[in-house]
Structure formats: C-alpha cells, structure tokens
Chain A
Amino acid sequence: MRSEAAARTLLLFFPTLVFLIALTAPGGDYAFRTGPLAEVAVGEVPSYVAVEGKTLYLYSSPYAVWSYPRAISVSIFYPTSVLVSSTCGAVAVASVGGAPGKYYVDLAVPPGVQGDCFVNFTHPSGWRAAVLLKIKLIDWYPGAVERAVVVLNGSGWQFVQVGADGMFYVWERPLARLPVAGCVFVYNKSVLLTETLNYGEAVPNIVPPVYVPSPGGQPRFGAFIKLEGASTLYVYQAPCPRAVNLTVPPPPSLRAKLGVLLPGYAGPYFDSPTPRTHSEYKTALRVVNYTVSAGRSYRLYIYSYSTPVGMWGAVLRYDFGVSTYLTTEVSLFRPAAATAGPARAGDVWLYVANGTRYWVYSRTPPYYTCNPPCGAPSGWTEPLYVVADPGGSWGGWPAVVKAEREFLRPWKT
C-alpha cells in the first residue's frame, strides 16, 4: 500500500519535470539549443584586405604593428565567453563574450611577421573555431591606404615638409603639390622623425600668401632627409609616429643687412628694421624664431629656424609701403659677413662669407645697387627663402622628379 501511495504521488510529479526544465534553465531557452555555441565571421576590414571564407589576406609592415580593428566578429549565443588565442601574437584579448551578442576582435599584426597564422577560438565545452590569417610582409607603413611617391634629385640635408593641403616644401620653399598629405615619411627604409608646426597667414589676402608659424593655422609635417642623387621619399597618410626628444640648437641670430637706403634731410640713411613682436616655436626637430619688424618704409616678416643638422634657414617677406623714394641700395638679404654681392647659381643666389654658404631663393636679387638711383621697392615682395650651410656640402634645393600616388591593393595567392 505504501509503494502504491508513492506511485500515486510520483505520477503527478514526473510530468511536471518537463516544465521545470523550461522554467529553471539558465538564460531561458539557451539550454535547449543544439546550434553552435558561437559563430566566428569576418568583421570590418579595410579595402586592402582580401577575404576568402574564413581566411584573411593581411599585410605586415617592417615599421610598426599593423592593426586591423574589428577585423573578426564573434556572435555568441549563450551567456558564456570564448577564449581567443593566436599563433603569431596578433590578438591582444584573452577572451570575448560574457553575454549573448556580437563581439569584435581587433587584430594587431606584429612587425615583420610573414606566413600563415591562426586565430583560435575555443570553449571548455569543446566548441572551437579558427580564422586563418595569411600575412605578407610589405614595404608600407601600417594603416595607410595610399601613399605619395616623391622622387627627389639633389644632395645634402633637406628639410622637407608636407602641408595639410598636400603642398610639398623643401627648406620652407614650396616645390610641388603631392597627391597625398600625411605625417609619416619613409626614406631609405626608415620611418623619419617628424615635427608638426602650424602655419597661418600673417596678413590675409596677399598673393602669394604670407605664411608664418601661427598656432591657429594649418599643420605642416616636416622631416629631414639626406639626399645623394635621386632618391625616393614616401609620404603616408597616417598619424604621426611617436615624437622623440632631440637636442636642437637655439634659433640663429640673423646677422644680415636688411633694408633700403633712403634719402633724408641729413643725407641718405639706411632704413634698418626694428623688431616689433617676437615669438618662438619649438618643434620636435627645430626651434623657430618669428619676428615682425618695421622700418621707416616697410614691415618685415621673418622667421628663422635652427636644425639638428648644422644648417639653418629663414624666410623673409617685405611689405613696402607705396613710396616714391629713390634709392641706390636695396638689401633684402645680405649676410653681415658677406663681402661680395650675391652670385647667380641656377635659379638661386649664393653668398659665401666666412666659409658659410648662404643660398637665397628669390624672384628679385636679394641685394642690388643702382646708379643712377632707382625707385625704392613698393608693395609686397615675393618671399625670400634663405638656407645657410656652414659645411658647404649642401647642393641647393632638390628637383622634384616625380610625385605620384600609390594605392595599397589587396593581395591573394
């Protein structure tokens, strides 16, 4: 009779077990699935990555870690997490998940890696999935989609700059327009140290514009290269590499004869400039001294800069008022130690004083005398670009042989 009573009770208990499963299963319906624990798929990849099933054709770079954010997506269907590992150190996280949903895994391919690499996803329940990375080493800065290939022909140290608009400057003088603007320069298989300095117009609406260092202006990215013959410089559109502290000498004092000879009551006098405002800008590579001076008949905008390569440079811009003065001597730039007037060397003017060679690029001669007297200059002069080379090895501004754009295309074997 006792077992009969037990059987009667159990009869009403056993069928309720089925409902007990539905009510107490963790996460409700999750306990009843036979589908996969998670699904691994290719996430968001840049245009230069080829995808074939669960194989990614990636690039690695000799210069830095090439990161592919959100490259793999993992959809997890259970309240659990999945372990992630890689055979080439391309994954930084150890696990993804926790709650059901879609997760992304960032890939970071270490420099110089080449060949096949697996990203393995595992779970203690035995579930596993993998993504194959086929990695090709390429001479390209990581993360950039395009680059400018600039072939330069010249010799000696060159200070190159690329403006945000793509203008290419060498020792501050605009030489060409590049199809790609960026902060990463690769030259001779090295990533160059770069500086960033903002330039703005000192006086608006002047042609050509009066560019001077200005905190509110557009950035220019600069670097030093040492040219020997024709060489190729690559400019990548990528964030600046980490800055390194260099010891840069203080900005040079511009000892030069600047101004014009003007007639006066007590005979002719030389109209020298007097500094009005002065500011100094320190970048990673240079110290730039910006001065606005005024003479009696003109205003002068100068910035001069020191470099870590033993040379220095300056850019001068005169704004002569409208005058009818006659003059016999105009000295837009003449080094104080110079004894002879500038010699024409190609399209530049060259002074030699105390073993230092001063290269001046200017439309008009930087120094001239006239007899009989000629009219003093009026209005804005074209900018004068000065490079002082104490070593005497600089070969002048280089020639831009070629400046073209290259795209990084996906590879697949």
Chain B
Amino acid sequence: MENVKLIYTGFVEAVNWVALLVGVASGMAVAFGRVYAERLTARYYGLAPQLLFKHRDVIVPFLVLAGAANIYAVWITVAYGGISAWRLSALIGMALVLAAQIIQLNVALRPSKKDLELALASCVAYVYLFALYVVALATGRYSLWLF
C-alpha cells in the first residue's frame, strides 16, 4: 500500500497536469476536426468514411495523443530553459515539434491515402527528444540539451 501511494504521488508530481490537460483538449479538437473532414470527404465521394479511410481507428486517437505530446514537449523545452538559453538542441526540438503540429493539422484537415506515413513522419520530434534523453542519461549529464 505504501509503495502504491509512493508511485502515485511520484506520478502526480512528475507530470505537469495543466500542460497535459491543455494538450489533450487541443488534441481532441484536432481529432474532431479530422472526423469532420473525413465526413465531408466521404460525402463528396458518396462513400462511408470507414471504407475510404482504413486507418481512422488509429489516426484519431493518435491525433489526441500527439496533440497532448506536442504541448507537453513545448512545456518541457520552454519551462526548463532550453529556449531561454538558446541551446541548439532545444531549438531543433522546438522546430521539430512545430513541424509535427503542422503535419498533424494537415493530416487532420486534409485526409488522404498518405495519412499513415505523414503521421509517422511527424513522430520524428518525439523520437528526437527521447534520443536526447537517453544519451543524457547514458553520459551522466544533467541537462536534456546536449548541444
């Protein structure tokens, strides 16, 4: 019971809930946009959206999750000085997150057959941040912004 409580409090303290909730809300807005755009396109072709967009079952939750991840990544980068210190690694991270958000908006508002690939490409930002993190841990550096 003590351990559960410890894990719980650790989890509560480690996560910035404001950033997370704002991110989830914006992600859900983008996901609803996607659903609406799918409907419009399907009506245009006179087909059911499920037939036209095979991956909508993954893309819609992905948009919610990615929206939350984008906002959270911005919070990580800004709140802990990566931007104010003008670290190149932080600036690259921000640029990648921005690019990911643009790609995801594109995926949401202009559904196409390339959805899966585009969504995967937008994940470069998250992989980049995680790679920084792993390298920082491995080299014993106490900063995410390695260069």
Contacts and interface: CB of A to CB of B under 8 A. Distances in A.
Interface residues of B, number: 45
B116 A8 contact: yes
Contacts of A281: none
A22 interface: yes
Given A18-B129, A19-B15, A11 B80 contact: no
Interface in A1-44: 4, 7-8, 10-12, 14-23, 25-26, 28-35, 37
A355 interface: no
Contacts of B99: none
B127 A12 contact: no
Interface stretch (B30-38, B39-47, B62-70): B62-70
A216 B14 CA distance: 61
A76 to B, nearest CB: 10
A125 B72 CA distance: 27
A279 interface: no
A32 B16 contact: no
Interface in B127-146: 127, 129-130, 133, 136-137, 140-145
Contacts of B141: 125
Contact of B76 (A4, A15, A22): A22
Nearest to A10: B120
Contact of A31 (B73, B120, B144): B144
Contact of B140 (A23, A32, A35, A124): A124
Interface centre among A15, A25, A35 (most CB of B within 10 A): A15
Contact of B90 (A12, A34, A78): A34
B129 A35 contact: no
A197 B145 CA distance: 66
Interface residues of A, number: 31
A188 interface: no
A4 B119 CA distance: 12
Contacts of B110: none
Interface string A380-401: 0000000000000000000000
A80 interface: yes
Interface in B54-99: 55, 58-59, 61-62, 65-66, 68-69, 72-73, 76, 79-82, 84-85, 87, 90
B123 interface: yes
A30 B142 CA distance: 7
Contacts of B117: 7
Given A21-B130, A26-B137, A33 B76 contact: no
B58 A14 contact: no
Interface in A326-364: none
Contacts of A37: 142
Contacts of B15: 19, 22-23
Contacts of A25: 14, 133
A125 B138 CA distance: 12
Contacts of A20: 130
A33 to B, nearest CB: 5
B81 A35 contact: yes
Contacts of B14: 22-23, 25, 28
Interface in A31-79: 31-35, 37, 78
A32 B76 contact: yes
Contacts of A7: 116-117, 120
A7 to B, nearest CB: 5
Contact of A12 (B13, B16, B58, B73): B58
A31 B61 contact: no
B140 A17 contact: no
Interface of B: 10-11, 13-16, 20, 55, 58-59, 61-62, 65-66, 68-69, 72-73, 76, 79-82, 84-85, 87, 90, 116-117, 119-120, 123, 126-127, 129-130, 133, 136-137, 140-145
> What 8 pairs across the A-B complex have the smallest Cβ distances?
A32-B80, A14-B123, A15-B69, A34-B81, A17-B130, A34-B85, A78-B142, A18-B69
11 contacts: A11-B119, A11-B120, A15-B126, A22-B14, A25-B14, A25-B133, A28-B10, A29-B80, A31-B136, A32-B76, A35-B85
Given A10-B123, A125-B140, 18 more contacts: A7-B116, A8-B58, A14-B120, A14-B127, A15-B66, A15-B68, A15-B126, A16-B65, A17-B127, A18-B69, A18-B76, A20-B130, A21-B76, A21-B129, A21-B130, A33-B81, A34-B81, A34-B144
